[in-house]
Amino acid sequence: MNIRANILLRVYLSFGLIVLLAVAVLVRLCDVQFVEGAKWRAMADSLSTKYINIEAARGNIYSNDGSLLATSVPEYELHMDVFAGGIQDNDVFYGKVDSLALRLSQFFGDKTPKAYARFLRSARQDTARYLLIKRKVNYQDLKTIRTFPLFNIGKYTGGLIAIQKNKRILPFQALAARTIGYKNVNVANAVGLEGAYSDYINGESGKRLVQRIAGGVWMPVNEEAEIAPKDGADIISTIDINMQDLAQNALEKQLIASDAHHGSVILMEVATGEVRAVANFTRVSKGVYKELFNYAIAGNQDPGSTFKLASYMALLEDKKVDTNTLVNTGNYRIPGHTIRDSHGSIGVVTVKQAFEESSNAAIAELVNTHYKEEQSRFTDHLYDWHLNEKLGLQIPGEAKPVVKNPKNKSWNKNMTLPQMAYGYEMQLTPLKLLSFYNAVANNGRYVAPIFVKEIRRLGNPIEQFKARVVNEKICSDETLGKAKALLEGVFLNGTGRSLASPFYRIAGKTGTAQVADGNRGYKAKKQYQSSFCGYFPADKPKYSLMVTVNDPQGLYYAALVAGPPFREIADRIYASDMQMYNEVTDRLVGNTVSPQAKAGQSKDIKKVYQAFGIKSLYAAKSDYFNSIDTTNGIVFQEYSDVKGYMPNINGMGLKDALYLVGNAGLKAQVKGSGKVFSQSIPAGSKIGKGLSVQIELN
């Protein structure tokens, strides 16, 4: 083969290979474009754009009186697209960037105008499309920022991108904070109303399309959401913000005074079971307490003497004793242990006196004597009263009560029963025990406490809640009457007599219990829980109240430690609740004379009569007038003040009379008290400044 033929062969082979490769590439391009096109386009879209969730505004939580306990407020994260449609032109951007930098510097105060200008110019050079300007900007500030140079060119073309986020705030801060709770993505660890009702409060998330840009940043494609979020529903709680404030202040003050480790207060409305206040504080340092744990619903401990009510009610219901039955106090010996009264023996007394003076020995002897041969009969009462069960609260975290029975492995036939009688060998939460006392106050109707009474969306109720009835009647009316008398006797004659009020009656029981020091038991360190559980007013119960103070230093008796906050809370609620005062019976009879009133300022008289619901027949428009009593309401006589003439002050109180006389330029000499019935210068007489007028009151 000659050289020419050899060269041509090589050229043809090379050209053929090139053509073959080109055909293969073309075939593969067609395959990618037409056969696998949908697959690759979807993958490309998923890498460059995606939908993200937009958090909905969480619903509000309101108190029983309409106060806002928790709400969501919009908070914005501000970004800037330095190549937005309206500012792409360099003349527009660079012509106003310094003015924008000055306004940002003046508004935020975190950088100098020059620093902001360099920051924005550098972003322009780097073609930044999603430059972070500021986080945590409120709505009012955002409205102002929209008026800044460049940003005011247009909502979508000026470069400002505002990403809304929702910030949860508590207007009353620490008040009821633990009960309100907080959002927790871990449902198993839900806290308070926020956690329990998150399905209602959270609302439904929206969707926004975002695009991936340089640096791995995702920028919204559109300013508006593709799917708008649906705001959450509102929760109407049973908490009364004023009562909550009162409960927290009273508890914290006592904890500081006693240098106690922790304590709780629960206030509950007797008839409805609605919880009006829950306070829990734990010592974090000397004299400083914070709400770290909800002891009221999760703090299981030996209830101590406050449990004696249940023991006496079991005895009374089974007719083992009556309130006048005699019993020994002081010491009661059982195998391996002696039960003592801390205040010593008060001799042989009635059951009523033993309860009032909180004798441990007396109740231990009574229960052990009457139930020793049938121990389950005593515990059956406790189980019938559901003291061994959870209340099924609307908020999470409730501890399960521990109430033994003879079938339990830890039951000691010699020791368990008598010690249960005065509140040991069991574990109850403060709210559990309060609910039992509340049942006594509620004439035997045992209701489970509630924290939420209504759920609303856009102001319309979508669900309402009533207290669940645990037991329609816990015992006979006879037992209830005697139990109420025992509880009232504590304040009249017993351990709570120093806390009795002269204005209203209180029923309740003190409790001082030695509690275990964790796993180290009772002997490692003596710790006490002081508690006070009861209701008021005793004759017509409206509220039940439980106060516990744990590990107080120094004095630890309940009447001295838990009693003062109980009395303070009860006093202030009673003083502020007109419905709890003794009602005055309205008696409507013929020829009733309307009450007399002093002449004086018209607006004051009108206000008083309107408050008493008295019909007032007046058309007077002057500032002062006299009132005339009639059987058909109050007729007012208008007073006309003429300058230079003696005013008519007859029938006025001294304050109004002196005001008018002084304005007329007269000097007054006053005699007597009451209202004006005589004036030395007759009304309507011409007068001059400086004259003296004698005013006589009666």
Among 403, 399, 405, 377, which Cα is nearest to 388's?
403
CATH fold group of domain 600-697: Trypsin Inhibitor V; Chain A (3.30.10)
Which string of DSSP letters, residue by residue, matches 229-253? -BPPPEEEES--HHHHHHHHHHHHH
Q: Residue 588 — left, alpha, or beta (φ > 0 → left; ψ -120 to 50 → alpha)?
A: beta
Return the HEC string of 72-128: EEEEEEEEECCCCHHHCCHHHHHHHHHHHHHHHHHHHCCCCHHHHHHHHHHHHHCCC
All residue ranges of the chain with pLDDT < 70 are 1, 39-47, 52, 155-156, 183-190, 212-219, 221-226, 516-525, 581-597, 599-603, 605, 608-609, 612-641
Max Cα-Cα span within the chain: 157
DSSP 8-state assignment for residue 328: E
Rounded CA-CA distance 453/237 in Å is 6
For 291, the token pair is 């709400």
CATH fold group of domain 244-580: Beta-lactamase (3.40.710)
Q: Residue 333 — left, alpha, or beta (φ > 0 → left; ψ -120 to 50 → alpha)?
A: beta
Which string of DSSP letters, residue by residue, matches 612-646? TT--EE----SSEEEEEEETTEEEEEE----TTB-
Rounded CA-CA distance 538/522 in Å is 36
- pLDDT score of 8: 75
Q: Which residue is listed with tokens 């101590």?
A: 304
- pLDDT score of 307: 95
Do 172 and 201 touch, CB atoms closer than 8 A? no
DSSP 8-state assignment for residue 428: B
Domain ranges of the chain: 3-35, 52-179+202-234, 244-580, 600-697
Cis ω for the linkage preceding 682 (within 30 of 0): no
Q: Which amino acid would we find at residue 662?
A: G
- pLDDT score of 619: 47
Q: Which CATH class is domain 52-179+202-234?
A: alpha beta
How far lies 467's CA from each of 84, 240, 391, 397, in Å?
58, 17, 11, 19
For residue 343, what are the contacts with CB-CB under 8 A and spacing of at least 6?
Answer: 357
- pLDDT score of 521: 57
